[in-house]
Structure 1
Amino acid sequence: MLPSRSALLALGLLAAFIPGPSAATGTDAPMAREAAAGAVAPAFARLADRLRRLGEDGLDPRAYGIPDDAFAEADPAAWHAALLRAASLALADLAHGRVQNLAGRPDLRRDPAAHPLAPLVESLSSAAEPAAVIERAAFLPADAAPLKAALAAARARVEAGGWPTVPAGEGTLEPGASDPVRVPALRARLAVTDPLLTAPPPEDPAVYDPVLVAAVQRFQAEQGLQPDGRVGRMSLAALNRPAEALVRQLRVALDMRRAPAPAPAERRIEVNVAHQRLQVLERGRTLLDMAVVVGRPDRQTPMMRLRMNAVQFNPPWGVPERNAKEDLLPKFRRNARAMAEKGFRVYQLVDGERVEVDPLSIDWKAVSRERFPYIVRQDAGAANALGRIKFIMPNTEDIFMHDTPDRHLFTRPERAFSSGCIRLERPLDLLDLVLEGTAGWDRARAVGVLDGRATASIALARPLPVRLHYTTAVVEAGEVRVRPDIYGLDEAYARALDAPARRPPAVASGPARVAGVR
């Protein structure tokens, strides 16, 4: 819906839509003179062409009411005004992002003051080449150039028909196997996207030969999967992800980067849940970078902004009810003695009092998952699921960071295995950084406490801001790396990106949480 005259007046943007004196020069702007004379300026024709190419910026040109060229012949002045109106709306989305107030995404915030809209619109109305104003706005986001190039390539692939799918078959396709259906389909699929897969197929095209195995391993590495050449459920899903899905992810990546709120200058922790990595950053420097394990798709790590304010050494684990019912009950059913040996204790409320129950005395097969009557706790120790250190970040979701005894998981490229909390590859390195400024504490003292095996907690002298965010497309050394949208959050963002806009855009100064479409 186009903005009303009163709304535009309130925004101070109506001058951009009506030919007249330029606020910048006090004289008639070139475009305004052409419009007043009833002419169709070549520069306006170029502006119309640039607006029709908003798809290369991840926006839908149909959302902006770009007037048809035929209208220019019938009423040039009205066509100019409609074109400037469309350009102004596009400018607002290019500068500030189209999506606002997206539910469940506190990790995304805008700062409209980063690129004030009024000067951009004024430039649009007074510039000799208004298309150049749109072009400049398109490159305002960080990493715009490589993301736009990747988007162009992805769109070209879609227009060329995408890529063929690979049938599921039975079981994992192993290197050296023979499969007359899956192997030729796999070769055809990767030949579309892997320029290194140039060798002719073997004499027997059904054989999963070393050349094709190497191509699969390259694909798996790009997708953040275990590069073992085995084509199982996860690799098959990545191979068969539609080309259109990549286009949507790159469109989302561009819009997410428009007018982001500035990062705090103080030391902070950033966890990219989609890429399963943690960084400690300070004044543009990366102090620490490590792999993490995040929540699996059915137990998603929520996106949050919070503060880490304490550390607990040798933590016991008070098992949440959901974990106890869904994760631990099957293990108690299989081997209650082994669970007791790992330090799990079972309690039951009797007359309001918590009473410990011998887990070996319970008929676990008769215990109902829907009406689970027990409280489960795991003692501190080497087998404890939280490892030896717990980093506390108060929140209503009971999310925290912690060590883990399952160290083997960090060797895997795909690490969405937890029940929502964040497991750390190098907890002691993080401990070193968060303890700085806390009097009397260093690694030596912390290791002494850990070796003592007693549970102890310490408040941090300098609580650190923490952001758990979901950014599937990152740019490293100019290269775009896109991880799978395991939680479907990019798809939700893409739906908001294409939803009908609520106009007019607000001009505000100060950070605003990203949460809906304007």
Structure 2
Amino acid sequence: MRSLLALTLTGAVALAVPAALAAPPAAHGGVHAAVQGPEALLRLADRLRRLGEDGLDPRDYGIPADALAEADPVAWRAALRQAATAALADLLHGRVRDLPGRVDLRRDTGALPLAPWMAELAATPEPAALLDRAALLPGEAAALKRALAAARARIAAGGLPQVPPMPGTEALEPGMADPVRVPALRARLAATDLLVATRQPEDPLVYDEALVAAVRRFQAAEALEADGRIGRLTFAALNRPAEVAVRQLRVALDMRRAAAPPEAGRRIEVNIPHQRLQVVEAGRVLLDMTVIVGRPARATPMLRTRLAAVQFNPPWGVPERNAREDLLPKFRQNPRAMMEKGFRVYGFADGQRVEIDPTTIDWRSVNPERFPYVIRQDAGEANALGRIKFVIPNTEDIFMHDTPDRHLFRRAERAFSSGCIRLEKPMELLDIVLQGTAGWDRARVDNVLASRQTAAMPVGRPIPVRLHYTTVVVEGPEVRIRQDLYGLDEAYARALDAPRLPRMAELRTR
């Protein structure tokens, strides 16, 4: 068969139509045949082969080879129609339907019924343009597609240069000379920073001010401490393979397809990988703060719930896992110091719970696998929950709370809680909660806090809360990608790439 691309006399690229397709469309039958010319169908086939730019894998759709158009036009048209139908459904509704534990992901496919789109696919003279429109329908799709194309271009160009980390816990400090790391660092940043790429350094072996400024820009974009010092976290971010970004961007595109709109009114959004909390209302951000989230071994679960109550001067009933894994080593080291921090130990005698002096217990003989005690921490300045606990009912015993360890919010990486959310600005969040709660104001709150007595306040207007896992966000012209902290993007990507049985019967029912 002749090439599908031919040069016109003016030098423009035009489609060369196979002879079999140049016959009257009705001769070939098929739904498309009556309205779609052969050139349009060839453009559709080409668009299907470019589904990779939408984060999908063209190999999943059984796109027929162009050679079949000459050999069996009817079969070619039928296969092309089936491929286009499946691709359009995935562009509109997402390829991944559900994932265990991902209650933060919710699609509203009913708001985007397939039937009108499928009818248009059959009737439009330019089906490729319809796929283009569907691909750009999700919010932020254009920016994500540009970022995906850029990431793939970097891979095609050989990937991102690697920067050898410093030995041990050492950091590359501004002003240092290093014949290995500084040139590698400059090459790595030149791949993504035009200012570095176009500047010639006076001494290519010195970590000079201009390169420090570029590192600070990189750190700020990665939500790292922008101090110009290159330690473990910055080296890890610099050396993140471009292939990882491609997978995360593909996931980000699919997650946004037919995504359910946010709840109306005021709501609280906690983005776990970005370790941030926002209170949003009518498109406006009322409050923005950093948070501390669960470390990977004790991942914060994804939740949809409501902020229902606030507890002041909360005691801490220590979960068994925290007691045996976190507190047992501290009791072994210094039980009296634990007493001074307000920790109480309880055992059981004759079916009754009784308090035990922790200095009388041989903590080294305690088996962590069969931890026999209940531990509670009194309210106070040293309490792990701080002065305020925000109750968000759920089966995982997760809540949001204050913390006495305020210095931890200055860290770039803040995934080290046991699953609950520690708040940088608990009082500011409380101010927002008080707006809908009769009988409470800051003066009353201050009095309760000063009393050091535990008290609870039901929220007058419970606020929707979503704990979600979104590693890729679009901020203005920038696409920010954070580390796949819990591997949930990787799990999504595996589902995205999993083989799937033909879905034509499913599509016909929608």
Q: TM-score, normalised by structure 1?
A: 0.87
Q: Aligned pairs, how many? A: 480
Task: Give, in angstroms, the shift of residue 178 of structure 1.
Answer: 4.2
Q: Is the 8 A contact 1:29 1:126 kept in 2?
A: no
Task: Give, in angstroms, the shift of residue 260 of structure 1.
Answer: 0.9
Q: Is the 8 A contact 2:171 2:232 kept in 1?
A: no
Task: Give, in angstroms, the shift of residue 483 of structure 1.
Answer: 1.2
Match of 1:418 in 2: 417
Structure 2 Cα separation of the partners of residues 354 and 30 of structure 1: 76
Structure 2 Cα separation of the partners of residues 427 and 80 of structure 1: 61
Match of 2:171 in 1: 173
Give the direction of change, closer, same or farther, for the CA distance of 1:315–1:437 in structure 2 (3 Å limit): same
Output the aligned Cα RMSD: 2.3
Task: Give, in angstroms, the shift of residue 156 of structure 1.
Answer: 0.6
Match of 2:18 in 1: none
Match of 1:403 in 2: 402
Amino acid at match of 1:45: L
Match of 1:67 in 2: 64
Amino acid at match of 1:74: A
Structure 2 Cα separation of the partners of residues 509 and 226 of structure 1: 52
Correspondence list, 1:109-120, <5 A: 109-120=106-117
Structure 2 Cα separation of the partners of residues 353 and 190 of structure 1: 64
What is the DSSP-based 3-state SS (H/G/I as helix, E as strand, rest coil) of the residue aligned with 1:77? helix
1:84-117 Cα offsets, whole Å, 9 max, x none, are 1101100000000000111110100111122211
Task: Give, in angstroms, the shift of residue 371 of structure 1.
Answer: 2.9
Match of 1:367 in 2: 366
Match of 1:200 in 2: 200
1:334-384 Cα offsets, whole Å, 9 max, x none, are 333322221111222223222222222333334333332222111101111
1:481-510 Cα offsets, whole Å, 9 max, x none, are 111111111111111111112331646999
What is the DSSP-based 3-state SS (H/G/I as helix, E as strand, rest coil) of the residue aligned with 1:109? coil
Amino acid at match of 1:166: V
Amino acid at match of 1:350: A
What is the DSSP-based 3-state SS (H/G/I as helix, E as strand, rest coil) of the residue aligned with 1:32? coil
Task: Give, in angstroms, the shift of residue 284 of structure 1.
Answer: 2.9
Greater shift in the superposed pair: 113-122 or 42-51: 113-122
1:394-417 Cα offsets, whole Å, 9 max, x none, are 211110001111112223332212
Match of 1:340 in 2: 339
Structure 1 Cα separation of the partners of residues 215 and 397 of structure 2: 39
Match of 2:75 in 1: 78
Structure 2 Cα separation of the partners of residues 317 and 295 of structure 1: 17
Structure 2 Cα separation of the partners of residues 491 and 184 of structure 1: 32
Match of 1:439 in 2: 438
Structure 1 Cα separation of the partners of residues 150 and 111 of structure 2: 29
Task: Give, in angstroms, the shift of residue 266 of structure 1.
Answer: 3.1
Match of 2:50 in 1: 53
Give the direction of change, closer, same or farther, for the CA distance of 1:492–1:223 in structure 2 (3 Å limit): same
Structure 2 Cα separation of the partners of residues 96 and 339 of structure 1: 54
Give the direction of change, closer, same or farther, for the CA distance of 1:364–1:199 in structure 2 (3 Å limit): farther
Task: Give, in angstroms, the shift of residue 34 of structure 1.
Answer: 6.9
Amino acid at match of 2:171: L
Amino acid at match of 1:455: T
Give the direction of change, closer, same or farther, for the CA distance of 1:57–1:210 in structure 2 (3 Å limit): same
Task: Give, in angstroms, the shift of residue 212 of structure 1.
Answer: 3.1
Structure 1 Cα separation of the partners of residues 82 and 429 of structure 2: 51
Amino acid at match of 2:33: A
Give the direction of change, closer, same or farther, for the CA distance of 1:507–1:261 in structure 2 (3 Å limit): farther
Q: Is the 8 A contact 1:315 1:380 kept in 2?
A: yes
Q: Is the 8 A contact 2:385 2:401 kept in 1?
A: yes
What is the DSSP-based 3-state SS (H/G/I as helix, E as strand, rest coil) of the residue aligned with 2:91? helix
1:405-459 Cα offsets, whole Å, 9 max, x none, are 1112223332212111001111122122223333211222122211111001122
Match of 1:463 in 2: 462
Structure 2 Cα separation of the partners of residues 509 and 167 of structure 1: 55
Match of 1:100 in 2: 97
Amino acid at match of 1:389: I
1:276-300 Cα offsets, whole Å, 9 max, x none, are 1112223333322222111112211
Task: Give, in angstroms, the shift of residue 29 of structure 1.
Answer: 10
1:189-222 Cα offsets, whole Å, 9 max, x none, are 22222222244345472x4333333332222222
Match of 1:87 in 2: 84
What is the DSSP-based 3-state SS (H/G/I as helix, E as strand, rest coil) of the residue aligned with 1:196? helix
Task: Give, in angstroms, the shift of residue 330 of structure 1.
Answer: 2.3
Runs of 4+ in 1 over 6 A off after TM superposition: none
Task: Give, in angstroms, the shift of residue 235 of structure 1.
Answer: 1.9
Match of 2:131 in 1: 134
Match of 1:303 in 2: 302
Greater shift in the superposed pair: 379-388 or 356-365: 356-365
Structure 1 Cα separation of the partners of residues 468 and 398 of structure 2: 14
Structure 2 Cα separation of the partners of residues 353 and 183 of structure 1: 66
Match of 1:244 in 2: 243
Share of identical aligned residues, percent?
68
Correspondence list, 1:347-358, <5 A: 347-358=346-357
What is the DSSP-based 3-state SS (H/G/I as helix, E as strand, rest coil) of the residue aligned with 2:331? helix
Structure 1 Cα separation of the partners of residues 364 and 301 of structure 2: 33
1:109-137 Cα offsets, whole Å, 9 max, x none, are 11112221111111111111111110000
1:451-480 Cα offsets, whole Å, 9 max, x none, are 111001122232222111011111122321
Structure 2 Cα separation of the partners of residues 509 and 286 of structure 1: 40
Match of 2:34 in 1: 33
Greater shift in the superposed pair: 172-181 or 107-116: 172-181
Structure 2 Cα separation of the partners of residues 202 and 342 of structure 1: 56
Q: Is the 8 A contact 1:308 1:393 kept in 2?
A: yes
Greater shift in the superposed pair: 297-306 or 183-192: 183-192
Residue segments in structure 2 that go unaligned for 5+ positions in a row: 1-24
1:30-79 Cα offsets, whole Å, 9 max, x none, are 942378xxxx7101111111111111111001100110000001112221
Amino acid at match of 1:454: Q
